[in-house]
Structure 1
Amino acid sequence: MITAKHTCTALLLAGLLTGCGEKFLDVSPNDSVTEENFYKTETDAIQATNAVYSELGKGGQYNYALWGIGEIMSDNSFTGGGGGGDGAEHQQLDNFNIAATNPLTTRLWGGCYVGIGRANTVIQRVPGIAAMSPAIRQRCIGEAQFLRAKYYFDLVRAYGDVPLITVPPTSLAEVNIARTPAAQVYDQIVKDLEEAAANLDVSYGGADLGRATKGAALGLLAKVQLTRGNKAEAARRAREVIALGKYRLWANYADNFKVGNENGQESLFEVQYVSGLNGYTFDGLGFVGNEFFGPRGQGLTPQGGYGFNIPEDEFVAGYETGDLRRDVTIWKPGDAYPDGGSQPAFLPGSPSGYGCKKWFVGKTSTNIWDSPLNFPVLRYAEIYLILAEAVGPTPEGLEAINKVRRRAFGLPIETASARDLTVGTPNFDEAVLRERRYELAFENDRWFDLKRTGKLLTVLAPKRIKPFNVLLPIPQNERDANPNLSQNPGY
C-alpha cells in the first residue's frame, strides 16, 4: 500500500534511508530529519535522490522479486532449492498457481511504489531548493525521472493497468485511486525518459559513478518503445545511444560479471551492491544471488549455497557448440570449483546437476547474503539486440546482432565471421529472440521478452501456464487497503 508515510512524507524516508551505490552511498544515520527542515540544501536534494535508487537493490526488485518473475516464471529456469516446500513462493510462480498473497509479486508492487513515491517528492521539491547548483538540481530531477520510469515500466509489464501517481498525495483519497490504463502509464514512462535524457549528462565519475546517465535514459527508452511495438522509435533511440560514443562491448563476455569491471565500458546502468553490511535479509546492501544461486551445500559461499534458480535442461541444450557464454552462465557437472572440487552430476533441487553461475563470487566475506557484485539493468549488447530486432535483417540490423554473436564465440567483434547471421537467415525475429535469451540469461528479461513477443502461452505450455497468467495478480493486501483496486481476471 502507498501510505501517507510513503508519499506525503517521503522526504523523511529520503533522509533516513541509504542511497544505492558504493560510489555515492551514505550509510550514516540521520535521525534528526523532519519535514520542516529537509529539502533546504543541495545535500538534502542529493540524499533524497539517493533514496530513490535504494529500492532497486532490495527485495522488491533485483534482490528477490525480479529473478523469480523474470527467470523462474520463464523457460530459462525452475525453482531448485532443497525440494519439497522449499521456496514455496517461487514454486507458485514456476507452476503458474500464483496466489494474490504471493510474497514476490507483492514485493514487486510495493517496492516499485515506494521508489515512485520518493521520485515524486524529489521531482516536486528539488526545483524549490535555492541553495544548490543548477547543474546538481537538473541532475537530481533527471535521476528521479529515470527511476520513476523504470519502476513504472516494471509495474505495467507485470500487472497491466496500475495506478498512475506522479505527485505526492496530500490525502488518502489521492492514494486510493483506481488503476490507470496501461497505455497512459506508458505515455508517462516515455515522457519521463525523454525529459531524463535531456537532464542527465553522458557520464559521471568519482563519487557519482553509477548514477543514471543520458545513455541509460535513452537505452531504457529504446527498450520501452520496443515493448510497445514501436520499432521505428526503438531503433532511433538505440542509434542515439550508439552515437554517444561512450560504450563498447567487452571482448570477453565474462568481463561483464566481474566486481573489478563494475560500471565499466559496456554498462549503461546497473544496481550498485556492496558487501559486509547485511546478514539474512533481502533488503541489505549486498546481492543475495551469490548465496541463493550457489551450488547447494557445496561450501562455495558463506552459507554453503542454496541452489535456487536452476537452468532448465532445454535451456542448457540450446547453446550452440562453441558459445563461450555457457560456461560463464551455468554450472554443469564436472565444472571445477575454486576450492579444487567439482560440480556433481546431481544436487538437491537439480537432478541434472546444473546451476546458475553468472552471479557467483564465492566467499567474499564472512557475512551472509552480501555479494558485492553489481547487477546490470542495461548493457550495450542489449542496445545492439534492440536495434537488430527493430530494423530486421537489414545491413544495420545484421551487423548489430553479429557483433554480439562474434563476441559470444570469442571472435573479433568488428570482423565478419562464419558465425554471422545473414539476410538469408530464416525466421530472423526468432533468431534475435534466441540471441537475447542466451546473451541476457539470468538478467531477468526472459519472461518479459516472451510476453511482449506474444510467445508466452506457447513456450510455457509445458509449465501449465493459463491465458490469464500473462498478468500477475494485484496483491491482496493492496486491494484490502484500497477498495478502488480491481483484480486481474483469473485471480
Structure 2
Amino acid sequence: MKNIYYIISFIICAGFIFTSCDDSTIELDPIGDTEAGFFQTEDQMTQAVLGVYQKVTFFYTFRGGQNNFLQGIWQLPSDDLTTEANHAYEFFSGLNGNNGQLNNFYRFSYQLISRANTLLEKIEENGTIAYENQPELRDYHRGEALFLRSWMYFRLWNTYGTAPLVKERIVALENAFPPNSQGTELLDQAINDLEEAAQLLPEIWDDANSGRVTRNSALGFRGKILVFRGTVAGDNTDFISAIQDFDAMNGVSLTANYGDNFNAAMENNEESLFEFQANNQSSMNNAFLDNDSFAVVGDIGAYYGQFARRPTWIGNAVYSATPSLINEFDKEDPRINYIFDMEPGLVTNVVKYIKDGNWTDAPGGANGSSRNNPRILRYADVLLLKAEAIVRSGGNLSDAITIINQIRERARMSVENGIPSPEPADYSLSGMDDNTVLDWIFKERRMELACEEGHRWYDLRRRHMAGEIDLLTWDFDSKRIDLEFEDYHVNFPLPEIEVIENENMNQNAGY
C-alpha cells in the first residue's frame, strides 16, 4: 500500500478547470475523469478510498518552513517535549485564530472528512453496480471511510474541543455553514461510526494492502475514544463498553522488542493498529511541493526533522525531551535507548523514529523526511487504556496491574545483549487503591508512548477537564519562560476566517 496510494490523483476533490466558452470549446469532451463517469468500478472505488488515506500525508510532512509543520500541535503542549521556537501552542501565550498551523490543521481535517463523506455517498449511490466482481469491497471501503472520518473527529475534539460535525457531503450552499458541535458530539459520532466500521472491516488485508485499517483497528480506536469520553463525562458505561471492545480484538499482540515499533523494517507489525504509510518517492521527495498538486507529487515521507535539526536552517525549532520525561524512567529501563540520545547537553535528544536512519533520498532526507511510519495507534496504547477502564469502572485492580506489568515486562526484555534488565520491575498486585493504580497507568503511558502521537497532551487535557489534575499549577518543564496556561487553553482557537464567514459558528472562549 505504501508504494501506491500517495501517487493517486484524487478524483473526488479534483477541481474543474474552466476556460472561456465559445463554439469551438463548449462541446469538447473533458480531459480526464469527471465525477459523473467515475465511481463505477471496484478499481475506481479503491482509488477513492486511497485518496482518503492520502490526506493523512498532510499532517506529517514538512510543509516547507520552520513553523509550518503540524506535529507540534499535538506534541509540544505537554510536559514531554519543549522548544525555544515561537510555537504558541507550547507556551500558550499569543494563541489566536490566525495561527497558521492550527488553521491548516483545521482545513486538512475537513478536506479528509469531505473525501470520506463523498466516498460514503458514492458507495450508497453506485454500490450495486460498482462492486459486481468483489461485493465484499463495498463493506470494506465503507468501513475505511468511517474509520478515517472518526480519526479526524477525535483529533478535532482534542485540538479545538468544538468544531462542526459534518456527516454528509455538502453540495448545497444552505448546508455550507454548520454550527459548532456541542460537548462530546464529535466523540459520540466517532464512537457510532467505529461501531459500524468494526462490523464491516476485514480481519486482515493481504500483503499488497498492508497498512489499511482492519476490524481490530476499529475496535481498538473505538475503545480508546470511549475511555476519553468516559473520563470527561464521568459515565461508567463507557468504560464497560471500552473493555468489551478491547476484549473483542483478535490476533494482535505486543512485539517482542519495544524498538520494533519504531524501525522502518518492522512497519505494520503485530502491535500496529493504524500507521501513516510514509514512503520514499520513486525519484526523490520534495518537501517544498504540495502533494495535492496534479503535475507533481510532493513530500510523501514523514517529517522528523524537528528531532534532528533538518534542514539546518530551522534553527531553534527543535523538539527536545524535557528533563521531567527523561527522569520518569528507571535508569536501566531499556526503552531509554530507543527513545533518547543521552549524550549530556544534547539538544537533539529524541531518536525514537530516527535511531535507524531511514531518511528519504535527498533533498527529502536533508529536510528531515523519512520513510519510517508514524505509529498512530498501537496495541500498547490500547492495553493501558484497558487497564484504565478496569480501574475507572470498579473492576479488579489486580487485573489492571497485570496489564501494566505486561508492558513493563516487554520493556525489560527489549535489550540488545539478550540479558533481561531488572528494570522496570513489576508492580505489586495487592494492597493498592484506585488512585495509586491510575497514577501507575499514566506514568506508564507517558513512558511507553513518549514523543509519539500527542498521547501525553491528550491525557493531560482530558484529566484536567475531568478535574483530576490542575494544569493551572502544572510544571510543563518548558524552555519557554513565558509559558502561561489558562483554563481555556484546553481548546485551541478555531480559524478566525471560519468564524467570521460562518454566522452559525462561534470562536472558542478566551480567543
Q: What TM-score bracket applies, with the shorter chain setting the length?
A: 0.7 to 0.9
One-letter identity of the residue aligned with 1:170:
V
2: CA distance, partners of 1:176 / 1:305: 38
2: CA distance, partners of 1:73 / 1:346: 22
Q: 1:397-436 to 2 correspondence within 5 Å? A: 397-410=400-413, 418-425=425-432, 427-436=436-445
1: CA distance, partners of 2:304 / 2:443: 26
**SS state of the match for residue 44, structure 1?**
helix
The structure that has the greater radius of gyration is 2
One-letter identity of the residue aligned with 1:359:
Y
Asked if 1:328 is matched to 2:338, the reply is: yes
Which residue does the alignment assign to 2:52? Answer: 52
Contact kept? 1:302, 1:367, Cα under 8 Å: no
Contact kept? 1:389, 1:397, Cα under 8 Å: yes
Which residue does the alignment assign to 1:246? Answer: 251
Q: 1:94-109 to 2 correspondence within 5 Å? A: 94-109=91-106
TM-score, reference length from structure 1: 0.83
Q: 1:50-449 to 2 correspondence within 5 Å? A: 50-59=50-59, 67-80=71-84, 87-88=85-86, 90-129=87-126, 130-132=129-131, 133-229=134-230, 230=235, 232-234=237-239, 236-276=241-281, 277-281=284-288, 284-294=298-308, 296=309, 308-333=318-343, 345-346=344-345, 350=347, 355-360=349-354, 361-362=356-357, 363-368=359-364, 369=367, 370-392=369-391, 394-410=397-413, 418-425=425-432, 427-443=436-452, 444-449=454-459
Which has the larger displacement, 258-267 or 21-30?
A: 21-30
Name stretches of at least 5 consecutive residues in structure 2 with no aligned partner: 12-30, 292-297, 478-482
Deviation at 1:429, TM superposition (A): 0.9
Deviation at 1:232, TM superposition (A): 4.7
Contact kept? 2:387, 2:441, Cα under 8 Å: yes
Deviation digits for residues 248-299 of structure 1, max 9, x if unmatched? 11121101001111100110111111023422348544344332311x4xxx
Deviation digits for residues 443-471 of structure 1, max 9, x if unmatched? 12111100111233342567321111011
Asked if 1:482 is matched to 2:502, the reply is: yes
One-letter identity of the residue aligned with 2:485:
I
Contact kept? 1:405, 1:420, Cα under 8 Å: no
Deviation at 1:161, TM superposition (A): 2.2
Aligned in 2, Cα 1:222/1:49: closer, same or farther, shift over 3 Å? same
1: CA distance, partners of 2:265 / 2:276: 15
**SS state of the match for residue 82, structure 2?**
strand
Deviation at 1:59, TM superposition (A): 3.3
Aligned in 2, Cα 1:97/1:60: closer, same or farther, shift over 3 Å? farther
Deviation at 1:402, TM superposition (A): 0.9
2: CA distance, partners of 1:402 / 1:289: 33
**SS state of the match for residue 331, structure 1?**
coil
Q: Percent identity?
A: 29
2: CA distance, partners of 1:226 / 1:249: 21
Deviation at 1:95, TM superposition (A): 4.1
TM-score, reference length from structure 2: 0.80
Contact kept? 1:222, 1:235, Cα under 8 Å: no
Deviation at 1:57, TM superposition (A): 2.0
Aligned in 2, Cα 1:62/1:385: closer, same or farther, shift over 3 Å? farther
Asked if 1:453 is matched to 2:463, the reply is: yes
1: CA distance, partners of 2:411 / 2:135: 44
Deviation at 1:175, TM superposition (A): 1.4
Deviation at 1:172, TM superposition (A): 2.5
Aligned in 2, Cα 1:310/1:316: closer, same or farther, shift over 3 Å? same
Aligned in 2, Cα 1:60/1:22: closer, same or farther, shift over 3 Å? closer
**SS state of the match for residue 228, structure 1?**
helix
**SS state of the match for residue 157, structure 2?**
helix
Contact kept? 2:142, 2:200, Cα under 8 Å: yes
2: CA distance, partners of 1:326 / 1:304: 28
Q: 1:15-30 to 2 correspondence within 5 Å? A: 21-22=1-2, 24-25=4-5, 27=7
Name stretches of at least 5 consecutive residues in structure 1 with no aligned partner: 1-20, 81-86, 334-344
Deviation at 1:381, TM superposition (A): 0.7
Please give the root-mean-square deviation of Cα atoms over the aligned residues, in Å: 2.8
1: CA distance, partners of 2:508 / 2:313: 40
Deviation at 1:58, TM superposition (A): 1.1
